[in-house]
Amino acid sequence: MSTISRDEVARVAALARIELRPEEVDRLTGELDVIVNAVAQVSELATPDVPATSHPVPLSNVFRDDEPTPPLDRDKVLNAAPASEDGKFLVPQILGEE
């Protein structure tokens, strides 16, 4: 039995101001119904004696040590850039501002 109706999908799409064609409403109705049923199955298994997990495999910190290093040579970096001006990268103007 479907728990999501076409009318619900159309209503949510209208609230989100998303225009859907009739075939898209049909497709999303089916897809959302599958998702709702999957969540319901998981909810049935999630009992108080099952501990909550955020990840199925334990994770460990993979960060490297934060050790200061000398900065890049500014002149070498600017020489490798396509264009520079006054010690800075020169890039094309994109916003139309002065």
Residue 16: what pLDDT?
96
B/e letters for 11-22, b = 16+ CB within 10 Å, e = fewer, are eeeeeeeeebee
Q: Are 25 and 10 in contact (CB under 8 A)?
A: yes
Residue 60 inside a domain? The answer is no
Number of domains the chain is built from? 1
Instruction: Classify residue 92: in a domain, yes or no.
Output: no
pLDDT of residue 1: 58
Which residue segment(s) compose the domain that 17 sits in? 6-45
The residue that leads in pLDDT, 68 or 95, is: 68
pLDDT confidence of residue 52: 75
Whether 5 contacts 29, CB under 8 Å: yes
What is the reported pLDDT for 3? 85
Q: Read off the CATH number of the domain in which 21 is found.
A: 1.10.20
| Average pLDDT rounded to a whole number, residues 17-22 | 95
What pLDDT shows up at residue 57?
82
Residue 69 in any domain: the answer is no
Domain annotation covers residue 89: no
Q: What is the pLDDT of residues 26-84, one digit of tens each?
A: 999 999 999 999 988 888 877 788 777 778 787 788 788 889 999 999 999 999 999 99
Angle at 8 between CA 16 and CA 25, to 5 degrees: 75
Comparison of pLDDT for 21 and 61, the residue scoring more: 21
